Amino acid sequence: AQRVTQPEKLLSVFKGAPVELKCNYSYSGSPELFWYVQYSRQRLQLLLRHISRESIKGFTADLNKGETSFHLKKPFAQEEDSAMYYCALRDSGGSNYKLTFGKGTLLTVNP
Amino acid sequence: KAGVTQTPRYLIKTRGQQVTLSCSPISGHRSVSWYQQTPGQGLQFLFEYFSETQRNKGNFPGRFSGRQFSNSRSEMNVSTLELGDSALYLCASSPGGLHTTQYFGPGTRLLVL
């Protein structure tokens, strides 16, 4: 069975401070990891995926297979980063697009 | 391109009734997935359809069913509603193939009284 754990329900930082949202996963197969974000009153949207190895809005995430983690990082948080963040996993070896989500972390960036 | 649309946006039903929710994917997308979102359980996968075939199903009772039409539009049905079915139901579409990003709709909020 696949499982995604986001240990922090709430995370509060000040503007300009570094931020790290933790994500750990449990899966025996070959996972594809994603971070999705939901801003206030907006729909859930993709922030980044590990296979793209890109930086979006200053956020990066590296897949660490040894530690089974996919933490999301940003060196300098902005107020507009305040949102709900979900880590999600998909079986990259399968033909289906089922996503297993973590429970989410609510990030608040204070001025 | 227009985004994923879901109808209705809000729905109130009573226990024992049934409900049908609709999802129109982004034009050209062939995969449609459904998720249930609740404060306690978070986002849980219900099922996925691709080219009118159900490819995967989550751990939900048989009261939850779905289908996909030839134009990729999808519906999900919940029969014999229970109070615990109150949730936000999200639909997501994806082009298919190697492009696995899912694009989510705004959701249908269902309240069961």
Q: Please report which confidence band the pLDDT of residue B98 belongs to, taking 50, 70 and 90 as the band edges.
A: low
- Residue A59 pLDDT > 90, yes or no? yes
| Nearest CB to A97; choose among B44, B58, B100 | B100
Answer whether A96 sits within 8 Å of B56, measured CB to CB: yes
Average pLDDT over residues B38-45: 93
Mean pLDDT score, A85-111: 89
Q: What is the dihedral of CA B60, B93, A60, A104, to 10 degrees?
A: -30
| B58 has a chain A CB within 8 A of its CB | yes
Contacts of B104 in chain A (CB under 8 A): 36, 43-45
Q: Do B103 and A49 touch (CB under 8 A)?
A: no
The pLDDT, as a whole number, for residue A104 is: 96
Residues B32, B103: Cα–Cα separation, whole Å: 9
Which band of pLDDT confidence, cut at 50, 70 and 90, is reported for residue A51? confident
Tell me what the mean pLDDT of segment B21-42 comes to.
94
Residue A32: its chain B contacts at CB < 8 A? 100
Query: Is there a contact between A97 and B107 if contact means CB atoms under 8 Å apart?
Result: no
Taking CA atoms, what residue in A is nearest to B49?
Answer: A96
| pLDDT at residue A101, rounded to an integer | 96
Hey, is A23 helix, strand or coil? coil
Cis bond upstream, residue A7 (ω within 30): no
Nearest to B55 by CA among A92, A95, A100: A95
